[in-house]
Structure 1
């Protein structure tokens, strides 16, 4: 490696480290209020959450050992613990982990929560049957994505699965509107997630990078994983006003349409979010 290339590589590492630290600081600040910021009270919120949970939880088996990356306050980790033999939650933020441990203890959930970096997982090769990550992958800087996906592949056992949920960059090409924004707003132009109205009345901003379906499939394949399922989340609900979705009959029609279209191309590639599964060859 030339001296110039080495300096460039070192600069890239420094920028990545700075991005991760900025993200950690934001979540440390909002950790105690995080759960109150994502209540999921609107019909569109409910549809989004139900679709995501059905996708992830429906693919976990009782004998599985599961790693939930970027587990936050345990939004997904705790439900996973009711299904799988073993669940580990990993996050970069001590504050979020503290909230997750408290919630798990209150619910009697047996989960091992640990602090760590998705780009440098503290686990041996072939440790888990399933790796899950929803939302958190979008905080990984694009230059570090390949490393994160390689780490996921490394800790999966042969035949193991990775289950992800990420914001769809293809959707953002159609509209920059943040369909479900309330207090946490996706700023597409500046590639940030803006936490408005925090406890001190100010804003906190974290880097946030969406994925296109092609990018996601490439990252899986490049890490040695075989993409098996790619489906849209809210391919219809994202375009229907909450006032209309509040009608149970309309909601039922939208639910049926999405069930039919979520895994049908091109609709599967145009959802508000992407839900994807990939398998490590056995």
Structure 2
């Protein structure tokens, strides 16, 4: 089952929120480190777009640092739940396909796709990057993140906990290797290494940098 379809049908709204509520202290550390890294790249005057916003876990945090914050997700359940949680209406939440964004060119200063969305969406990665760049302003940036190989034991344990709660299917341990988590119900998500990001960006001819934070996340920052 394609990643985006899986989330749309099986892992949206409160079920997705539950995945984060059962995270171990080490996973919570990683999640906070990701957000801190993104916040360090945002200015108060920026318009920010998050791709694959889920129930708004990250989007609402980014809204505290930016002039305008928009979160898009293909799952209607996620967007409905995100809107219900955003009591201050600090963000705009829209149902939208990350490969066909309904925004004009150069609409945002920062475009964010973290928590391994580049793999979890299970879409053409070059097309995803190009569409993100299309809506980024000249001088703006696009941020993608994936998992560090150093984080593998913690990531696997987190998915084991999700499986135990019935949020995802049983782990297919024979197939879950080389940075990929595979479940018997069709869930599958790999990861991007710094080399993978370099290869992708080189193929597109874009300027980029990569870094690893917290021994858990690999970031790729693309300059527009």
Shorter-chain-normalised TM-score: which range?
A: 0.7 to 0.9
Segments of 4+ moved more than 6 angstroms: 174-177
Q: Which has the higher helix share?
A: 1
Question: 1:23·1:207 contact (CA, 8 Å) conserved in 2?
Answer: no
Aligned to 1:239: none
Q: Distance in 2 between matches of 1:274 and 1:60?
A: 18
Question: Structure 1 residues 84, 93: CA separation in 2 closer, same or farther (over 3 Å shift)?
Answer: same
Q: Distance in 2 between matches of 1:22 and 1:60?
A: 31
Shift of 1:110: 2.1
Shift of 1:71: 0.2
1:245-260 paired onto structure 2 within 5 Å: none
Shift of 1:163: 1.8
Question: Structure 1 residues 103, 224: CA separation in 2 closer, same or farther (over 3 Å shift)?
Answer: farther
Q: Does 1:211 align with 2:192?
A: yes
Question: Structure 1 residues 177, 38: CA separation in 2 closer, same or farther (over 3 Å shift)?
Answer: closer
Q: Does 1:34 align with 2:34?
A: no
1:204-243 paired onto structure 2 within 5 Å: 205-233=186-214, 235=215
SS in 2 for 1:54: helix
Q: Which runs of 5+ in 1 are unaligned?
A: 1-14, 195-202, 236-271
Instruction: Please give the per-residue CA displacement for 1:48-100, whole angstroms capped at 9, x wherever unaligned.
Output: 12211210111111000100000000011001111101111000000011111
Shift of 1:192: 4.6
Question: 2:55·2:79 contact (CA, 8 Å) conserved in 1?
Answer: yes
Aligned to 1:183: 162
Q: Which runs of 5+ in 2 are unaligned?
A: none
Q: Distance in 1 between matches of 2:79 and 2:23?
A: 24
Aligned to 1:93: 75
Larger Rg: 1
- Given candidates 111, 124, 145, the residue that maps to 2:91 is 111
